[in-house]
Amino acid sequence: MKYYRSFEAGQTVIWSGDKMDFVASVVSGVATLTKTMEDGRRQMVGLLLPSDFVGRPGRAHAAYDVTALTDLVMCCFRKAPFEEMMNTTPHVSQRLLEMTLDELDAAREWMQLLGRKTAREKIASLLAIIARRDASLGLRPAKGKVAFDLALTREQMSDYLGLTLETVSRQMSALKRDGTIVLASKRRIEIPHFDALLAETGDDNDGGVLT
Amino acid sequence: MKYYRSFEAGQTVIWSGDKMDFVASVVSGVATLTKTMEDGRRQMVGLLLPSDFVGRPGRAHAAYDVTALTDLVMCCFRKAPFEEMMNTTPHVSQRLLEMTLDELDAAREWMQLLGRKTAREKIASLLAIIARRDASLGLRPAKGKVAFDLALTREQMSDYLGLTLETVSRQMSALKRDGTIVLASKRRIEIPHFDALLAETGDDNDGGVLT
DNA sequence: CGTTTTCTTGAGATGTGTCAATCCTCGTGG
DNA sequence: CCACGAGGATTGACACATCTCAAGAAAACG
C-alpha cells in the first residue's frame, strides 16, 4: 500500500492524461506541475517541495505533467486503500483539506503575479517566494545574508512566470546590475537586503501582519 | 448559527483584511473574489456561482475582496459552530475537500490562461467557461444555439483576464466581426457554433475525452 | 578537450497598454 | 415625452514592454 519511488533530476514522474493509481507526497527534492498546450506553450502550475501532496483522490488520470527538478524521492500510496483510509480516519481528509486550501491561496497569489505584475516584479516575487519556502523548511540561518541555490533553469523560471527565457535573463541581469541580487554563479543567488527585494515585488509589504 | 444575507448588484460583501467570523455559500447570484495591489491594479481570482463556497475554516480575516456582481443571496454559518460541525461530521470536510480540489483545478487552468494565452484566446476561453458553467447549472437548453447574458462588465472581464478593458473591447469586436459571436446587445451573447468558439480558446479540444 | 546545454545580449517586430475622444444605453427628472 | 446625465462601451493614434530571431559566451559533461 505504501512505497517509495526515486527519480533523477529531469525525469518525468507522470504525463498529463496517464493513468495514475496512486497519490503521493514529496519526501525530498523538488518537482513541478505543468500544463502544456498543443503548440508547445507551457505554464507551470505547481512547485512541489518536501511534504507537498500530489494526486487527487477520486480521479483516475493525471491532470498535469509532473517532473523532477532535482533528484526526487516520493512516498506513494495506492489510491484505493488511501481512499478507504480517508473514509475511516476523518483526520486525514481534514489535514488534506488544510493543505489544499493553502495551495489554493498560493495559486491565487500566483494568478495575481501572472495577470498583473511586470516582468521585473515577477522575477523579484519568484526569488522572494523561493527564499521564504526554503527558509520555512529550516534551510536558512534566521539572520544574516539570505542566499540560496536556484533549482530552476531560466527556462523553468519562464514557465513559472509566464515569460520567455530571454526576458527572465534580461531581468535577472537588471536586478544584478541594480545590486538587488548578487549572482555568485548562474544558479547561486545572494540577496544583500531582503527588504530591497521585497520592495521590487509590487506586493503590499507593510500591511502583511494584520492585527 | 445559520442565516441568510442579501446584497445588491455592485455591493461589497467584505473587504480583504476585514474580520470574517463566518463562512458562506452562494444561494443565488454571482460574486467575485479579487486581489488589489497598492497602486490599484486588480486581478480577479475567483468567480462564485450558486453552490460555491466562500471563506476558510481556521482563518479569522478575509484574504480577498468579495463583491456582488448581480443581486446576491448568501447562506452564512458562524465560523465557530461550523468548525465544530467539521469535527463531528466527517462527511462535511470530505465534501469541502472535493469542492476545494475542484477550485484548485479551475485556478490552475486560469493560471495557464493568464500566463500563456493571447488576448483573443483569453476572451474566447472566458466566454466558453461562462457558457459551460451556466449550462451545468441547468440554465441551458441542451441543444440549439448557445446564448447567455454576461454578468460581467468589460472592466470586470479585464480583471478576470489580466487585460485592459480596451483590449477586451477590441477583441470582443474582432470576434463579432469574424462571426464567432453575435452581440444581441452589449451584454447578450449568442454563439452560433460553439465548436468555432472552442477552436479559438487555444485549448486541446479533441483529446478531452481520454480513454 | 570537444560537445551540448544553458545563459546572455542585441536588434527589430508586435501585441497589448495608455491616453483621449466619441458613442451607446438607460434611467431620471423636468 | 424628451432632454439630460452618467456609466459603460467603442475606437483611434501612439507608446512601450515583452517576444522573436539570431549570434555568441559561459558552464556542464562525457
The answer to whether the CB atoms of A97 and B98 lie below 8 A apart is no
pTM of the shown model:
0.93
Whether residue A27 is predicted with pLDDT greater than 90 in this model: the reply is: yes
* Shortest CA to C1' contact from B186: nucleotide: D9
Give per-residue pLDDT as tens, A160-182: 999 999 999 999 999 999 999 99
Higher per-residue pLDDT: A210 or B125: B125
CATH class of B117-199: mainly alpha
Using a 7 Å cut-off to protein CB atoms, list the covered nucleotides of chain D: 8-13, 17-22, 27-28
B88: chain A residues, CB-CB within 8 Å: none
So what's the pLDDT on residue B139?
58
**pLDDT tens digits, one per residue of B133-160:** 888 776 555 566 889 999 999 999 999 9
Question: What does the pLDDT average to over A42-60?
Answer: 95
Q: Decide if A103 contacts B106 (C-beta within 8 A).
A: no
Task: For chain B, give the secondary structure using H, E and C.
Answer: CEEEEEECCCCEEECCCCECCEEEEEEECCEEEEEECCCCCEEEEEEECCCCEECCCCCCECCCEEEECCCEEEEEEEHHHHHHHHHHCHHHHHHHHHHHHHHHHHHHHHHHHHHHCCHHHHHHHHHHHHHHHHHHCCCCCCCCCEEEECCCCHHHHHHHHCCCHHHHHHHHHHHHHCCCCEECCCCEEEECCHHHHHHCCCCCCCCCCCC
A116 touching chain B per CB within 8 A: yes
Which class in CATH covers the domain with range B2-111? mainly beta
Residues of chain B scoring pLDDT < 70:
138-144, 206-211
Instruction: Confirm or reject contact between B195 and chain A (CB < 8 A).
Output: no
Query: For position A211, what pLDDT does the model report?
Result: 39
Give CATH 2.60.120.10 domain extents, chain B: 2-111
Asked whether the predicted pLDDT for residue A1 surpasses 90, the reply is no
